[in-house]
Amino acid sequence: MPSSGNSTMSANAATAEQMADAEMNRLLTALRAAQAEIGRTVLGQERIVEDLLIGLIAGGHVLLEGPPGVGKTLLVRTLATATGLSFARVQFTPDLMPADITGSMVLVPDTNGRNTLEFQRGAIFTQLLLADEINRATPRTQSALLEAMQERTVSAAGQTMPLPEPFFVLATQNPLEMDGTYILPEAQIDRFLLQLDVPLPTAETLAAILDSTTGSVSTTVQQFLTPADILAIQALVRSVPMADHVRRAIANFAISTHPVGANASADVKRYLRFGLSPRGAQALVLAAKGHALLNGRFNVSFDDIRAMLLATTRHRVHLNFEGRADGVSLETLLGRLLDASIKGVL
């Protein structure tokens, strides 16, 4: 017969588990409510909104690409409001300097009337940073984001300062305005968990947008999450289990994209310039976990990997000159490589 002490411990453990389940359900309910709220404001971009939230809860940064006027900036502002994140916007231009982003030393008068040097923090010290038209700044300025995006710190004035948590960079670039732009270096692009292509709306969606934005009634965005909630969901995403054979399929897929690999296929050797980095494979794992959790499942399936494949790899795996000249579809090639890797572990 168990003692009363053991019974009390068992009851406490059951209560703690129930509280944990209740908290997880609360967080996921709030996350879906935020998703619906963003979709109510940014019409016709349901998949982009879902992927954007996956990037946020997976703890990664997102690069948005699309023609002007499709609502990229509105999408970011709405996300900041619905999630309760502090927000800052930097318009990237050719004359933008690194100190304009990170901050600089300035002279500040003290109570005695003397001027002292003090570090004035830049726009990067926020939770949600919009780097608007990031490819218009010089590579020197773009490099100011490298440490922040990877380490979540800024080194300036002889000290290393942590950034607020969570820290999330959303960058936009316009593929149509090529004059005065700079190609993002691989080291910069690889730090984005996802690259999302924002499409033009359909005629039906555009009619709804015109009705909601040109009238006298304005839309008010409600907040459903807090920064603490997002940190908790990020920890939850990392705890989503992944079966060994699913993990092996991702590893085999990443290796199969390298043209210098011993087992590289003929198409990979012929058409790819370089393959998926280890950071890219990590991005696919985290994005798949985020996709599973956002869709109400606490395990990762091959469907989750397929759903996040292009968003995590299209900016990391590049065709060579022959691939571009022959009109090879990178998306189709990556899909075939993933299917072969999945088949190999089943």
pLDDT at site 178: 56
Q: Which residues of the chain have pLDDT under 50?
A: 1-2, 9, 12-13, 15-16, 19
pLDDT at site 316: 92
Token pair 């971009």: residue? 45
pLDDT at site 10: 56
pLDDT at site 11: 54
117-139 pLDDT, tens per residue?
778 888 999 999 999 988 888 88
**Which of 61, 321, 1 has its CA nearest to residue 184?**
61
Question: Taking the domains of the chain in order of start, what are their residue ranges?
Answer: 31-96+125-212, 240-345
What is the CATH topology of the domain spanning 240-345? Helicase, Ruva Protein; domain 3 (1.10.8)
Q: Do domains 31-96+125-212 and 240-345 have the same CATH topology?
A: no
CA atoms within 13 A of residue 223's CA, in its CB half-sphere: 11
- The CATH code belonging to domain 31-96+125-212 is 3.40.50.300
pLDDT at site 255: 95
- d(CA 60, CA 78) in angstroms, rounded, equals 18
